[in-house]
Amino acid sequence: MHETTTLLVEVGALLLLLGLLGRLSRRFGVSPIPLYLLAGLAFGHGGLLPLNASEEFFAVGAEIGVILLLVMLGLEYSANELVGNLRSAAPAGLIDAVLNALPGFAFALLLGWGWVAAVVLAGVTWVSSSGVIAKVLGDLGRVGNRETPVILSVLVIEDLAMALYLPLVTALLAGVGLVKGGVALAVAVLTVVVVLAVAIRYGHLISSALSAKDPEALLLGVLGLTLLVAGVAAKLQVSAAVGAFLVGIALSGPVAHHATELLSPLRDLFAAVFFVFFGLVTDPLDMPPVLLPALLLAVVTMGTKLATGYLAARRAGIAEPGRWRAGFALTPRGEFSIVIAGLAVAAAYPVEPRLAALATAYVLITVVTGPMLARLPDLPWFKLWLRRRAAARRPVPATVAD
């Protein structure tokens, strides 16, 4: 009974603190993710007041948080939309992968961390934060801008790429080797293709089995199906997150719409728990030695993400101000970067111990500075610089001699 009482006190106090931090972040118009990470660091191993009784609760909650993040992501797209975006945005996605995954991969090798840690860090630097970017676009009133579909197409390609990347990195972190990792990737590719084909052809039948008119039954049905498929996927070494993502894609119509409304509060709760748990298992004393490398990596990869958005918008025929807006908007990293680093922390295979601290510092830097950088194209001095730049590029009219 004493342990249960302590668990309730710790969980209740920490959730109350997260609520206050979330309100504080929204008042200042910033993402709550860095505050959740800092809260985890404060109450985790080596923190100010370590919480021991509730660690197992937060570990399970973190797993559910990842699953809910991914199923909600899948619910945003129908299978047809996903295939269409894949076709139209594939070149931009390739540029994105090359420019942003390679710096993380090379950085880990330069630090002498080994190729498995390099694959993990490549994923951390590759993927932008869909949640933070969506909030920034809404706050700045850019949802209807011409460059916004370009930004969203890059994010969709990254989301789909994660369905292939996560099974591979999960297999590598399990220590099964490159060959079995390749087999896991092949299984994941086959699974994604099969699920997309089934969703396109029979998605309406899957959705019809779940009634959108009964909120309680819909919530239990979608949540139960998601956890079941995620668990089976994890057993098959395909990744629980990928399984949840595919469940979201398979659902469509009113069922997907109502499921999104019902699951949103649960996602927000367990996503916060996930970020806190990542902070809990990261020792704050490990962070000072990696702050400078994390800052250097953040500067490099925010620059490469800026180039990604700029080139993708230029390819779509967007004017130069929109190209800069697209580039700066893509700079924050967040939930997926922490998910990938979290896989390394929980892996049975020994991975570089400084990776979690580096990933935490890296995400904190990008998620705080990214929204501020997104405001730059709206500032008067930046607009003046763009006008001067455009004027300098105009050809000088030739004069006709008398």
pLDDT tens digits along 348-377 = 666 788 888 898 889 889 988 888 898 899
* Chain CA centroid to CA 285, Å: 26
C-alpha gyration radius of the chain: 22
Question: Where would I find the H helices in 251-317?
Answer: 253-280, 288-315
Dihedrals phi, psi of 143, to nearest 5 degrees = -60, -35
pLDDT of residue 3: 73
Q: Which residue has the higher pLDDT, 239 or 10?
A: 10
Q: Which two tokens stand for residue 61?
A: 């909650």
pLDDT of residue 79: 66
Cβ neighbours around 138 below 10 Å, total:
10
| 382 CB-side CA count, 13 A | 13
Average pLDDT, the chain: 81
178 closest CA partner among 125, 231, 123, 119: 119
At 84, is the pLDDT very low, low, confident or very high (cuts 50, 70, 90)? Answer: low
Task: Flag whether pLDDT at 306 surpasses 50.
Answer: yes
d(CA 8, CA 43): 15
Q: Which two tokens stand for residue 236?
A: 């098959």
pLDDT of residue 2: 61
SS3 for 338? helix
Q: Domain 58-383: which topology?
A: Na+/H+ antiporter like fold (1.20.1530)
| 346 CB-side CA count, 13 A | 17
Task: Tell me the per-residue pLDDT of 149-179, one tens digit each, with 9 for 90 and over.
Answer: 888 788 878 877 877 787 778 777 776 656 6
pLDDT of residue 260: 86
At 274, is the pLDDT very low, low, confident or very high (cuts 50, 70, 90)? Answer: confident
Q: Are 99 and 304 in contact (CB under 8 A)?
A: yes
Share of the chain above pLDDT 70, in %: 86
pLDDT of residue 81: 65
59 closest CA partner among 358, 270, 355: 270
Task: Flag whether pLDDT at 78 surpasses 80.
Answer: no
pTM of the model: 0.76
Q: Which two tokens stand for residue 113?
A: 């961390």
Q: Which range, 166-170, 187-191, 200-204, is most confident?
A: 166-170
The counts of H helices and E strands in the chain are 16, 0
Provide the residue count of the chain. Answer: 402
For residue 330, give the DSSP letter: T
At 240, is the pLDDT very low, low, confident or very high (cuts 50, 70, 90)? Answer: confident
Q: Which residue has the higher pLDDT, 303 or 393?
A: 303
d(CA 125, CA 104): 6
Question: What is the dihedral angle through the alpha carbons of 347, 351, 354, 358, rounded to the nearest 10 degrees?
Answer: -70
Task: Flag whether pLDDT at 257 surpasses 60.
Answer: yes
Q: Are 362 and 333 in contact (CB under 8 A)?
A: yes
Q: Are 156 and 130 in contact (CB under 8 A)?
A: no
Share of the chain above pLDDT 90, in %: 19
Task: Flag whether pLDDT at 398 surpasses 60.
Answer: no
* Chain CA centroid to CA 333, Å: 7
At 327, is the pLDDT very low, low, confident or very high (cuts 50, 70, 90)? Answer: very high
Task: Flag whether pLDDT at 330 surpasses 80.
Answer: yes
Task: Tell me the per-residue pLDDT of 92-137, one tens digit each, with 9 for 90 and over.
Answer: 888 899 999 999 999 999 999 888 899 999 999 999 987 778 778 8
pLDDT of residue 402: 44
